[in-house]
Amino acid sequence: MTNFKLTVSDIKGKSVTKELKDNDGNQFLGLQIGNETDAAVVGLKGKLKVTGGSDKSGVPMRSDVHGAARKRVLLTKGVGLQDAEIGQRVRKLMRGNTISEEIYQLNCKYDGELPAEAAEEPAEKTEEKKE
């Protein structure tokens, strides 16, 4: 039983968030960062390229850490490390580049342009919450 929060961004910079439950998210299991899959899951024609994600506790995925496990990695720059000075190295907890059931959020890039009505839905929901 897999639950993913899928964030899809297009070439123009628009993004939309979809929630995938149960069998809808099974096609993402086993994929690695950089792999492509069919965009029919989100109701689009074309391809989705997996660009990253994080697990249920917020640990980010990193493309150069192999597997699906959490590992403590020595970092000098890149994903998961901010405000590093020159020459500084920090050991941080990272998730591997393979999608497993522990992953909660997935970031994907769509090879086309998102339809206007799909990109406006999240904006309307946030406006209603503010009022």
What number of other Cβ atoms are within 10 A of residue 114's Cβ?
20
pTM, to two decimals: 0.78
- Residues 72-130: tens digit of each pLDDT: 999 998 888 888 889 999 999 999 999 999 999 999 999 888 887 655 555 445 455 55
CB 14 within 8 A of CB 114: yes
Domain ranges of the chain: 3-66+95-113
What is the torsional sign of CA 98, 102, 105, 111?
positive
CB 27 within 8 A of CB 40: no
